[in-house]
Amino acid sequence: MTEKPEIVQLGADVLRRTARPVDDFSDAKFPQLLAVLRDAMLESNGVGIAAPQLGASWRIIIVASRPTVRYPNAPEMPPIVMVNPSFQIVDDSLHKDWEGCLSVPGIRALVPRFRAIQVNYRDEKGREQDLVLEDFPARVFQHEYDHLEGLVYLDRLESNRDIISELEFFKRIAA
């Protein structure tokens, strides 16, 4: 049985570093890292994950919106591995909604994000891809992309008053 990968927590240097681009898709360690990322995200009930959250400073994220214990109202979409992603804003209106982070447990915050974005990335085989993401999946992408830039969602807050405990968050969404 494999050991559960540790998700690094706020304060770890790797979360504050700009991640390196992937340039070798044929490296034998690459599919292993993707598998570990997927497993860690699924085991933690995440809707996305970034390689720096496992201590790997590479520009790799997975966006996997789906209903979970942590996000019961999330829309369903297949998990998408995005390597060396970038994005352009499609709808520059900002919408505030609740976010949490596997690397910042116990709290949630209202974070402003762009409602719609065009994402460009390479898939697991290194092929160029693009798609438009809107609403919650766009939010998940922007959250994970921030990890590649050395940012966490708390860096995006307009006010510290937008932070609540996770217990309070669950009370609010149950009401």
Catalytic residue annotation: 144
101 annotated ligand binder: yes
- For CA atoms 149, 156, 134, 169, the dihedral sign is positive
Q: 68: Cβ–Cβ under 8 A, 6 or more apart, which residues?
A: 45, 46, 47, 74
Residue 147 assigned to a binding site? yes
User: H helices then E strands: how many in the chain?
Assistant: 3, 6
SS3 69: coil
Tokens coding 55:
């201590």
Q: Which residues are annotated as a binding site for Fe cation?
A: 101, 143, 147
Q: Which residues are annotated as a binding site?
A: 101, 143, 147
